[in-house]
Amino acid sequence: MNEDDSDQLQMELQELAWEEERLIQELEEKNLEAVAESREDVEAKAERLDPEETWVDVEKGKVGDTRQRQLLNT
């Protein structure tokens, strides 16, 4: 392999690394958007339910009534 081939391969490798980084960032942004939408859905559902009989675990994306939570905690 001569120096020109080595330089060309190095440039191609760098371009692939940049493309990989761009794709990773794009995927992370899409995942963040999906999580935000899911959180909004959970919060909206919680607001529609009776506040005294509702629990919300936003971290886990769960909503339920008090009786369900008591069963889960036992």
Amino acid letter, 67:
R
Give me the percent of the chain exceeding a pLDDT of 90.
43
Distance CA 35, CA 42 (A): 11
Predicted TM-score (pTM) of the model is 0.56
pLDDT band at 74 (very low <50, low <70, confident <90, very high): very low
The residue whose two tokens read 């899911």 is 38
The residue whose two tokens read 């794709």 is 23
